[in-house]
């Protein structure tokens, strides 16, 4: 009874809209006119005209709701030419789906012309071309969007360069180190608040473009901005100025600041960073620039101070050394092997004039000295860190690793006449993806090299050979996409996304790239997906494919969304699968199956 009252109410509301020329075959149902502009509801056999669709929409004869013109739900664009079989489509401009890459086709008034309304990142007559960021900015001057590869970079279409800086391109901006660009807030944020997704998250300041240098006489970035990658929060020895009093502060594997340890009053020299704090050099191993003795091969007992101080000695207990100080007014007796009363002998080396691990050698009279400095230090008292060029002057056969980057090394036998950009004198780089081995002293396959604390670049674009210092450079990733985080095998191209282009990865390194073959039947390229090249019908739409979506659809068969009469897709368990009709048949919209001469 309640339903009957509701129906009477509908009739009373739309009573003036009852049509005389429309006949209802059943008591209840719906009728859409041939031009799909009008919908009638049948109520007890009486046709009631419904309100018209908004502009740009028409009624769907199948779903009986308003749908967008020329969308996959617009059956009107497939109306027949009047024959009974319905096996021929009306020739309309948009019926062939000319607009690519998600472009919306808008038909002209005569039905024979069309205009493609392209997404922001595509252009061309049929949206066939991916726009550059500069072209996107011309379409929308308010656009602020992330860089596709690097998390600290973004594009701001409101900030146009008069002169484009090195390592940048028009509209490209960079967050201050160590901030990253958030795709949520569309601005630079603290790195702890940003999810980079697939974008590369640089932790070292020297990977930020601001700190890159394009001159032949550049001071290496790591001198002022050492890397904290792989290090815990707190104080560490300086990454570049190793075996020295200099330290760096790390947080979240980011470099925060640097400094120099205070002077140890008693020894009149700087302390060294060790285990998160500044300590006496007597607590630091020799291989780290300290003065801690070595008990290897020594018996238990006391030994004279290795630095020549008479009021000091060191003891070996359980194979471990400990430096001791004699009581005031006494000195260590070499024969007694203990401290005895007596004045200290005033000799040239007793004041430890040689710094940074230099060995003090006294003159014959005991009043002069000579410092034999380690390879990387020089000066009268070894007080100065030598440049690599100065080290090469001391030893022309020297081949040594770069302290920070595993693919770099110094070869003192290879001097540049003109130093290349991003390099310094004697600095060499292994071919990508090789790395420099500190064992064999040469470039080796990356699988055979232990980089230790040196940074191991996996992306070719982090190798200096592929860096570009001109304002009109093609981004390195176009030819050398990154494979970081990807399994071995074939993947969609990292830069040319949603396209037939692929890349081959091994050990997270880029090996090669290529283009999938053409699918003969569809006359278009296949797309890379799940390690191989497949039909676009197997690739999701968000990845440039044509795989339909079953969300909101019931189980069953549906017409092909691309308008192909010999195809349809089925939804089973919410998953789509594209099917092909047998030769000579087409998918019938009413029968929902393939039939000979079906009504497409």
Is residue 555 in a domain? yes
Task: State whether 553 and 538 are in the same domain.
Answer: no
d(CA 236, CA 409): 24
Q: Give the per-residue pLDDT at 296.
A: 84
Is residue 158 in a domain? yes
Task: State whether 400 and 462 are in the same domain.
Answer: yes
Q: Which of the listed residues 466, 493, 515 is the one where a domain comes to its end?
A: 466
Task: State whether 555 and 506 are in the same domain.
Answer: no
Is residue 347 in a domain? no
Q: Give the per-residue pLDDT at 90.
A: 41
Is residue 221 in a domain? no
d(CA 408, CA 427): 7
- Per the CB < 8 A criterion, the answer to whether 92 and 85 are in contact is no
Task: State whether 554 and 533 are in the same domain.
Answer: no
Task: State whether 597 and 531 are in the same domain.
Answer: no
Is residue 472 in a domain? no
Task: State whether 167 and 186 are in the same domain.
Answer: yes
Task: State whether 537 and 556 are in the same domain.
Answer: no
Is residue 138 in a domain? yes
Q: Give the per-residue pLDDT at 172.
A: 96
Q: Cα 176–179–183 angle (5° rounding)?
A: 115
Q: Classify 107 in phi/psi space as left (phi over 0), alpha (psi -120 to 50) or beta.
A: beta
Q: Tokens at residue 549, please?
A: 């979506």
Q: Give the per-residue pLDDT at 13.
A: 46
What are the mean pLDDT values of the chain's consecutive 10-residue runs (600 residues total)?
47 50 79 87 86 83 75 60 35 71 78 81 87 87 93 96 92 97 96 94 96 81 92 93 91 95 80 93 83 86 84 90 89 86 66 80 80 85 87 89 95 93 94 96 95 94 89 86 95 88 96 90 84 90 84 86 86 88 86 78
Q: Which domain holds residue 575?
A: 548-600
- Per the CB < 8 A criterion, the answer to whether 543 and 529 are in contact is yes
Is residue 523 in a domain? yes
Task: State whether 393 and 447 are in the same domain.
Answer: yes
Is residue 516 in a domain? yes
Mapped to the 3 state alphabet, what secondary structure does 107-121 carry? Answer: ECCCCCCEEEECCCC
Mapped to the 3 state alphabet, what secondary structure does 550-594 carry? Answer: CCCCCCEEEECCCCCCCEEEEEECCEEEEEECCCCEEEECCCCEE
CATH value at residue 159: 2.170.140
d(CA 587, CA 600): 6
Q: Which of the listed residues 170, 202, 234 is the one where a domain comes to its end?
A: 202
Q: How many CB atoms lie within 10 A of CB 309?
A: 20
Q: Give the per-residue pLDDT at 86.
A: 32
Q: Which of the listed residues 202, 232, 258 is the one where a domain comes to its end?
A: 202
Q: Give the per-residue pLDDT at 341.
A: 86
Task: State whether 486 and 459 are in the same domain.
Answer: no
Number of compact structural domains in the chain: 4
Task: State whether 461 and 412 are in the same domain.
Answer: yes
Q: Classify 306 in phi/psi space as left (phi over 0), alpha (psi -120 to 50) or beta.
A: alpha
């Amino acid at each position: 009874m309640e339903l009957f009252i509701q129906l009477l109410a509908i009739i009373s509301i739309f009573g003036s809209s009852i049509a005389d020329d429309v006949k209802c075959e059943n008591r209840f149902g719906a009728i859409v006119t041939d031009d799909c502009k009008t919908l009638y509801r049948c109520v007890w056999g009486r046709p009631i005209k419904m309100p018209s669709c908004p502009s740009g929409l028409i009624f769907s004869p199948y779903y009986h709701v308003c749908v967008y013109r020329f969308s996959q739900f617009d059956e009107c664009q497939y109306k027949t030419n009047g024959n009974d079989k319905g096996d021929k489509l009306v020739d309309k401009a948009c019926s062939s789906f000319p607009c690519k890459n998600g472009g919306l086709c808008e038909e002209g008034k005569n039905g024979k012309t069309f205009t493609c309304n392209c997404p922001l990142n595509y252009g061309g007559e049929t949206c066939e071309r991916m726009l550059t960021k500069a072209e996107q900015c011309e379409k929308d001057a308010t656009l602020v969007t992330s860089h596709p590869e690097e998390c600290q970079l973004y594009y701001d279409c409101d900030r146009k360069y008069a002169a484009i800086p090195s390592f940048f391109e028009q509209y490209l901006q960079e967050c201050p180190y160590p901030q990253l660009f958030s795709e949520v807030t569309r601005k630079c944020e603290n790195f702890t608040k940003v999810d980079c997704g697939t974008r590369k998250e640089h932790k070292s300041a020297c990977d930020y473009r601001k700190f890159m240098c394009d001159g032949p006489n550049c001071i290496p970035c790591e001198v002022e901005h050492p890397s904290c990658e792989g290090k815990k929060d707190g104080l560490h020895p300086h990454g570049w100025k190793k075996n020295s009093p200099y330290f760096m502060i790390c947080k979240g594997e980011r470099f925060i600041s640097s400094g120099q340890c205070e002077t140890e009053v008693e020894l009149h020299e700087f302390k060294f960073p060790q285990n998160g704090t500044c300590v006496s050099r007597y607590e630091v191993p020799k291989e780290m620039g300290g003065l801690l003795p070595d008990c290897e091969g020594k018996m238990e007992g006391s030994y004279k101070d290795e630095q020549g101080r008479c009021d000091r000695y060191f003891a070996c207990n359980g194979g471990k050394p400990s430096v001791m100080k004699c009581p005031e007014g006494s000195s260590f007796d070499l024969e007694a092997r203990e401290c005895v009363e007596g004045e200290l002998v005033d000799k040239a080396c007793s004041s430890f004039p040689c710094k940074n691990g230099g060995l003090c050698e006294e003159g014959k009279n005991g009043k002069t000295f000579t410092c034999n400095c380690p390879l990387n230090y020089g000066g009268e008292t070894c007080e100065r860190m030598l440049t690599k060029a100065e080290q090469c002057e001391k030893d022309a056969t020297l081949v040594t690793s770069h302290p920070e980057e595993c693919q770099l090394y110094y070869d003192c036998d290879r001097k540049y006449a003109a130093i290349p950009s991003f390099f310094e004198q004697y600095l060499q780089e292994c071919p990508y993806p090789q790395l420099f081995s500190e064992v064999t002293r040469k470039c080796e396959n990356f699988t055979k090299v232990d980089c230790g604390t040196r940074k191991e670049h996996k992306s070719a674009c982090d190798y200096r050979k592929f860096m570009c210092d001109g304002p009109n450079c093609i981004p390195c990733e176009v030819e050398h996409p990154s494979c970081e985080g990807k399994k071995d095998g074939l993947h969609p191209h990292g830069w040319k996304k949603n396209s037939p282009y692929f890349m081959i990865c091994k050990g997270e390194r880029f090996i090669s790239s290529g283009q999938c073959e053409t699918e003969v039947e569809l006359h278009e390229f296949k797309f890379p997906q799940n390690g191989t090249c497949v039909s676009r019908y197997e690739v999701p739409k968000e990845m440039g494919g044509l795989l339909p979506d079953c969300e909101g659809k019931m189980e069953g068969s549906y017409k092909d969304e691309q308008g192909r009469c010999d195809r349809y897709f089925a939804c089973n368990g919410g998953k789509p699968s594209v099917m092909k009709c047998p030769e000579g048949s087409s998918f019938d919209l009413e029968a929902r199956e393939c039939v000979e001469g079906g009504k497409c």
